[in-house]
Structure 1
Amino acid sequence: MDPEEQIETKDALAESTAEAIEFGQQLWAFLTDTAEVLLRPWNAYQLGIAAGLFLIAALLARPIAASFHDWLRGRAGWPKWRIRVGLVVHKRIRGILFVLLIWSTVLIMQEITWPSRSRVLVVIANLSLAWLIVSFATRLVANPLLRKMVKYGAWVWITLRILGLTAEATAFLDSIAIDFGDLRISLFLIVQAIVILGVMLTLARAVSSVAANRIRNNPDISPSMQVLGAKLAQILLLGGAFFIGLKAIGIDLTGLAVLSGAIGVGLGFGLQKVVSNLVSGLIILLDKSIKPGDVISLGETFGWINSLGARYVSVVTRDGREYLIPNEDFITNEVVNWSHSDRFVRLDLKFGTAYGDDPHEVRRVAIDAAKGVSRVLSGGKRAPVCHIIGFGDSSVDYVLRFWIDDPTGGLTNIRGNVYLALWDAFKDAGVSIPFPQREVRVMNDALSVEVAETRGGESAESG
């Protein structure tokens, strides 16, 4: 660093230190004057009234909160958002009671006495109401860390606003800054960015949730396009809110565009798999090859689609396991979609009966047995059928074909139920199911000795 830059840095540091000292002196003077004012008899009496009202609100909050909690538990049929609002209100009953009590007291005192004798109560009432509104409003922020930052930042700003210290606080925060060439980042800019971006992202999240619900509830849009539309709306709104927030803070987006282009080139080489899965997910949504609720088979995995993500597809199997399969696998591998065009699935069961059984009777018994199993379609062109497919070594071979319309209910279990029904039906009808048999013949002792001697003589001659 050359001497001129060192001198400029020292001057900037000295200026920031002087501004900080000046703000500290102003804050100390304000606190001293405030303490002097509050210690006056009538102002101290107002503080006592506020403390008494807070104690009354705390005593009343316990039984009211218990009754409200019991009442809220009985609203099991309410939507989730109403239950959440009720829980937020339940946690802040004491604050709500205090705000009602202090504002009622302020209105009464302004009617029966001079306005100056309720000035401190008015300030306390404004602060209490503002804090209560902020605590309710910040519940819309989903991220816990961002919610706390926005809440405490809004509380501090509103308190300074009510007390008339906004200009001094802004000057102090703006004096704490770091310069990067033409870019100057101050503490005030950081606080402003957190608040503005938090508010913008929260509003965008709320709007995107409403838009996504509208899209999902539209019966004219296919399930895959509903997912695509909801995700596009969310990305556009959140991205727009982010850039609008940066613009409102005063950050130049031209340099950010150049930087994002360079970062994009680097990410394209380093995150090929991630980009491939993102593109594959977009293709899946556009070609409608799979959608939530479809029953699919991919390799050894059999289950139904639970959700479509930007990077993976959630597949839930019959044993309750949830597989997160990359989108790329659905593009490059063979996928069996049991419910792509419709939900009808045909299953084949092979069995055999003895040659002594009448094949016409066997077919009739097998078809009736399949029709008696729940989930098996028994009417129309999808009724069960049974055909002879060959004459085996020890059995006449058949195939029983039947249809189901709920593959999400499982395939192995319905096969097992039909097999069990065939077993019971064949047993009642006297139809036998053959199985391989072997006969073992034991030679008598004399013949065994003769064969043994013969083999022994042949061995001696060869020796």
Structure 2
Amino acid sequence: MDQDPASPGIAEQILALLGEGRDLAEMFLTPGWRQNQILIVLGLIVLAWLMRKLTAARVQDWTRDREGWPKYRLRMLVQIRHRLMLIYFVAGSWAVYAVMRQVTWPSRSYLVGIAATLATAWLVIAFVSRLVQNRSLRRLLTWGLWIYATLYALELTDDVVTFLGSVAFQMGDLRISMLSVLKAFLLVAALTTMARLLTQSATRNLQSNEDMSPSMRVLAIKAVQVTLYGIVVVTGIRALGFDLSGLALVSGAIGVGIGFGLQKVVSNLVSGIIILLDRSIKPGDVISLGDTFGWIDSLGARYVSVVTRDGKEYLIPNEDLITSQVVNWSYTNKLVRLDIDFGAAYGSDPHKVRAVAIEAAKSVNRVLSQPNPPVCHITGFGDSSVDYTLRFWITDPADGLSNIRGNVFLALWDAFQANDISIPFPQREVRHLNDPTRLAERPADG
């Protein structure tokens, strides 16, 4: 680590800070108004603790009775209930500070004002930090802001800033200090929170825009996320003092190496962008890819989530959807034609069989009667039956194909039973060539 020769050494600064802390402690322990203010603050803390004990149960019961409130209000009530003691202390300290300012000298209420200011800052930070969803990041941000608020209220920020600025390491012309790292961290944390809030707001607005297709909505959401979080990363790097223009050549060489190593990842990313642009596949479509049949739940940057009828969720790489043959059952429309084959006995009138089969198909709920009604055709004369094909249309392939075929077969069975139409089965005649009775009937050779 290097330090500026003109600035005092780290050891000297630490000793100076310890000396100021010792002087501050002696000042508080000396009898007088400073000590009285400390006792007042301690009394307010005890009073706030007693108030929390007396009212915590009532506040909890009142919170539980708030049925039908939005979730964000209920979360706010929970946070308030957890910080009742701090809220009571803030209210009490400001009230005491206001009274003391009126009845005595301002210097005799100075410490009470500092305590009230600190408590208020801690309370505000505790509520504002809830905007950060990541627990670890929220904890670091909360403690960092609390420490800064404490140093600011005690007027120790200049000394701490000087100390943090002196602790640094040198890399060529680049000097990175603990102060710059701390500033970069706080800046990135704040920008990340803002980016997340803006992304959520943009996502809600884009998803409710009916003028855009589902695939274009996903593409716009991804573009907003990449732009906002890209700004956060670049801003954090610049806050540390790095010159991004000097990294252009190095980043280009690194990019070539990474490109070979992450060829599949890049291919999936590009394929995902192509899918979003040409709108060949969008959320809600019913597709078949190999043995996978289901509907698209979401489009990701690397894969597509396909949910099947049995509840399984397949993550199919975007590249497979570009290079493989995909059946999109709902690309232009959701009309799907299904065929089922059956046979009827030769003794049954084929005209009647066709009419009964069509009416049976129409009786099933999901089968369309208009604009494409069911049709039935003779496809051949088999060994044991006349062969037929029944064709019908549906508009909800996502609800399953096997179940609708099964329902149509059941309807055919019931209709054939009601109209005396038999469904034959193959019959075979078996002869035993070595039957003794037949051998006895054969004439003798001669």
TM-score (norm 1): 0.88
> What is the letter of the counterpart of residue 400 of structure 1?
L
Corresponding residue to 1:311 among 283, 302, 315: 302
> What is the letter of the counterpart of residue 23 of structure 1?
Q
User: What are the superposed Cα offsets for residues 237-296 of structure 1, whole Å, 9 maximum, x if unpaired?
Assistant: 111233234334543221233332222111111111011000000000000010011100
> What is the letter of the counterpart of residue 294 of structure 1?
D
User: What are the superposed Cα offsets for residues 323-359 of structure 1, whole Å, 9 maximum, x if unpaired?
Assistant: 1110000000000000111112111111111111122
1:283 — aligned with what?
274
For 2:408 and 2:102, the matched residues in 1 are separated by 85
Taking a change above 3 Å as real, the CA distance of residues 251 and 84 of structure 1, as seen in their structure-2 partners, is farther
For 1:69 and 1:20, the matched residues in 2 are separated by 52
Structure 1 residue 84: deviation in Å?
A: 4.3
For 1:261 and 1:53, the matched residues in 2 are separated by 64
Corresponding residue to 1:75 among 59, 68, 84: 68
For 1:148 and 1:263, the matched residues in 2 are separated by 34
Preserved contact between residue 298 and residue 335 of structure 1 (Cα < 8 Å):
yes
Which stretch shifts more, 271-280 or 235-244? 235-244
Which stretch shifts more, 364-373 or 58-67? 58-67
| SS across alignment from 2:293 | strand
Corresponding residue to 1:110 among 90, 98, 101: 101
Say yes or no: does 1:432 pair with 2:422: yes
Preserved contact between residue 180 and residue 239 of structure 2 (Cα < 8 Å):
no
Preserved contact between residue 277 and residue 327 of structure 1 (Cα < 8 Å):
yes
Corresponding residue to 1:46 among 37, 40, 51: 40
Say yes or no: does 1:383 pair with 2:373: yes
Say yes or no: does 1:274 pair with 2:268: no
Corresponding residue to 2:384 among 380, 391, 394: 394
| SS across alignment from 2:52 | helix
Number of aligned residue pairs: give it.
Answer: 440
> What is the letter of the counterpart of residue 19 of structure 1?
G
Structure 1 residue 192: deviation in Å?
A: 1.0
Say yes or no: does 1:411 pair with 2:405: no
| SS across alignment from 1:290 | coil
Structure 1 residue 139: deviation in Å?
A: 2.0
Q: Mark the runs of 5 or more structure 2 residues left unpaired by the alignment.
A: none
Taking a change above 3 Å as real, the CA distance of residues 164 and 352 of structure 1, as seen in their structure-2 partners, is same
Say yes or no: does 1:63 pair with 2:57: yes
For 1:101 and 1:366, the matched residues in 2 are separated by 84
Preserved contact between residue 373 and residue 417 of structure 1 (Cα < 8 Å):
yes
> What is the letter of the counterpart of residue 366 of structure 2?
R
For 1:416 and 1:214, the matched residues in 2 are separated by 43
> What is the letter of the counterpart of residue 440 of structure 1?
V
For 2:84 and 2:431, the matched residues in 1 are separated by 93
Preserved contact between residue 315 and residue 325 of structure 1 (Cα < 8 Å):
yes
For 1:195 and 1:222, the matched residues in 2 are separated by 38
1:119-130 pair list within 5 angstroms:
119-130=110-121
For 1:82 and 1:424, the matched residues in 2 are separated by 58
For 1:366 and 1:86, the matched residues in 2 are separated by 64
Say yes or no: does 1:243 pair with 2:197: no
Taking a change above 3 Å as real, the CA distance of residues 91 and 360 of structure 1, as seen in their structure-2 partners, is farther
Identity of matched residues, %: 50
Structure 1 residue 85: deviation in Å?
A: 4.2
> What is the letter of the counterpart of residue 158 of structure 1?
A
Structure 1 residue 53: deviation in Å?
A: 3.0
Corresponding residue to 1:367 among 346, 358, 363: 358
Preserved contact between residue 57 and residue 98 of structure 1 (Cα < 8 Å):
no
Structure 1 residue 450: deviation in Å?
A: 7.6
For 2:234 and 2:228, the matched residues in 1 are separated by 10
For 2:75 and 2:6, the matched residues in 1 are separated by 46
Say yes or no: does 1:353 pair with 2:344: yes
| SS across alignment from 1:219 | coil
Taking a change above 3 Å as real, the CA distance of residues 13 and 287 of structure 1, as seen in their structure-2 partners, is closer
For 1:231 and 1:346, the matched residues in 2 are separated by 36
For 1:296 and 1:400, the matched residues in 2 are separated by 24
For 2:366 and 2:132, the matched residues in 1 are separated by 46
For 2:241 and 2:198, the matched residues in 1 are separated by 24
Q: Mark the runs of 5 or more structure 1 residues left unpaired by the alignment.
A: 1-8, 458-463
User: What are the superposed Cα offsets for residues 135-176 of structure 1, whole Å, 9 maximum, x if unpaired?
Assistant: 222222233222222221111111111111111111111121
Preserved contact between residue 370 and residue 402 of structure 1 (Cα < 8 Å):
yes
Say yes or no: does 1:214 pair with 2:205: yes
Structure 1 residue 50: deviation in Å?
A: 2.5
2:175 — aligned with what?
184
Structure 1 residue 188: deviation in Å?
A: 1.2
> What is the letter of the counterpart of residue 439 of structure 1?
E
| SS across alignment from 1:398 | strand
User: What are the superposed Cα offsets for residues 292-343 of structure 1, whole Å, 9 maximum, x if unpaired?
Assistant: 1110000110011011111111111111111111000000000000011111
For 2:171 and 2:97, the matched residues in 1 are separated by 51
Corresponding residue to 2:284 among 293, 296, 310: 293
> What is the letter of the counterpart of residue 348 of structure 2?
D
2:134 — aligned with what?
143
Which stretch shifts more, 241-250 or 267-276? 241-250
> What is the letter of the counterpart of residue 37 of structure 1?
M
1:27 — aligned with what?
17
| SS across alignment from 2:146 | helix
For 1:257 and 1:14, the matched residues in 2 are separated by 30
User: What are the superposed Cα offsets for residues 416-437 of structure 1, whole Å, 9 maximum, x if unpaired?
Assistant: 1111121122122221111112
> What is the letter of the counterpart of residue 45 of structure 1?
L
| SS across alignment from 2:383 | coil
| SS across alignment from 1:127 | helix
